[in-house]
Structure 1
Amino acid sequence: MLVLALKLLLAHFIGDFVCQPNAWVRHKEKHKHQSKYLYWHVFLHFLILIILLQFDFSYWISISLITVSHFLIDLAKLHLNDRTNHRMLFILDQLAHFIIIGLVLSIYYPFNIDLHFIFKAKTLLFLTSFVCLTQVTSVVMKTVISKWDLKVRIQELNATNLN
């Protein structure tokens, strides 16, 4: 399972980040589904998958699902690009690709997710510590320092430095 997962992830990373010039991205954003580079990009993903899967066509389901879903996910991203935050859209795009990779892996290697470990003492201690150190501490610090007006203090410091 690990080898297949690594091959699928590597194919995705090579296809999306190594073999996609910025000129292609700009052209796709401008011309959307009419961009020839959208189709070249998907075809490259197809080729990279075939190569990394060593031309083993017993993986035809994964090759087909990943190729078609990659096209659909990228097409959706292109049409949402003008209406949505670019950073959030990038994160959602990559998350969608990873979910598809996970689904493909589950076809070949079904796995069960056991969430009982969350309720063990060590995990609860870790989660409590993490929430306390990040969120709780942030609120406490904000509350503590809110009694000082930092704008006034900065002006005082600037006036002192000018003299």
Structure 2
Amino acid sequence: MELLLLLLTVHFIGDFYLQPTAWIERKSENHLKSIRLLSHILIHTILNTVVFLLTDYPLLPAIIAISFISLSHLITDLFKPHKKQNLSYFLIEQSIHLIIIILIWLYFSGFTVEQVATFTANLFSTQNMIIAISYLLACKPASVIISLALKKHTDSLIKHSENQELGLVSAGAWIGYFERCLAISFIFMGQFAGIGFLVATKTIFRFGDLTKNKDMKLTEYMMLGTLLSYAIALFIGWNAQQLYFAL
């Protein structure tokens, strides 16, 4: 575990703290000719070399591991300028690095295929799947239910609203995802006061909009949406918790 923690630490330091924004821009412009790209690869090579010197693993496997890590950064950085920079690509890029680090750790830790298979089976245990399904239900399915339940009111508000500034696209859906997932998390942790904090926080931020519009229909619509969202989260969270402890 020590090796994994050290490799993760130097990865985050090298990728985020020792890579200024200007370096990223230069890499995108100049590709292989960029001195910043080479500097970035060199930083990761040095940091990972220090890790293996501290952990005292065999020389040849350590050199191969360091080379793989450095090569992964070179390939992802060369591929990056040809893709639109967004959250999806960032997550894919970081996942590649983390998978390589985990594989290297598994090799040096002497894990067998059987042990990895056992760990994977435990990861997808019935109890863990209950938790995963509860979060999945709290996102898109719950959003669809709320949307259909309030459709008549939504159409009415859009039709008669004088203010066409409806906010960021899909922002309301994402707010709903987060609030329901956080509510379920608080239920699993037994911190029901956290749900009250979420409701209070959302009310404070919505208060200005409601008082500004002075629209009773809009106020009632928002209250309905919020109460329905939390009711679904509580229903899912409580039942998932009961199933979890029943198994």
Q: Same fold (TM over 0.5)?
A: yes
Residue type of the partner of 1:151? I
Unaligned stretches of 5+ in structure 2?
A: 164-211, 217-247
Contact between 2:27 and 2:77, CA under 8 Å: does it hold in 1?
A: no
| TM-score between the two structures when normalised by the length of structure 2 | 0.56
| TM-score between the two structures when normalised by the length of structure 1 | 0.81
Q: What's 2:70 paired with? A: 67
Contact between 1:45 and 1:67, CA under 8 Å: does it hold in 2?
A: yes
Shift in alpha-carbon separation, 1:87–1:103, aligned structure 2, 3 A = same
Residue type of the partner of 2:31? K
Residue type of the partner of 2:116? N
Match of 2:141 among 136, 139, 144: 136
Give 1:17 deviation, angstroms. 0.6
Q: What's 2:13 paired with? A: 14
Q: Which has the higher contact order (CA 8 A, sep 6+)?
A: 1
2:112 is the counterpart of 1:113: no
RMSD: 2.6
Cα offsets for 1:97-120 (capped at 9, x unmatched):
111112212221225133444353
Shift in alpha-carbon separation, 1:116–1:27, aligned structure 2, 3 A = closer
Map 1:11-160 onto structure 2 (within 5 A): 11-54=10-53, 56=56, 58=58, 59-78=62-81, 80-81=82-83, 84-109=84-109, 110=111, 111-114=115-118, 115-117=120-122, 118-120=124-126, 122-148=127-153, 149=155, 150-155=157-162
Aligned residue pairs total 156
Identity across the alignment (%): 28
Give 1:24 deviation, angstroms. 1.1
Give 1:22 deviation, angstroms. 1.4
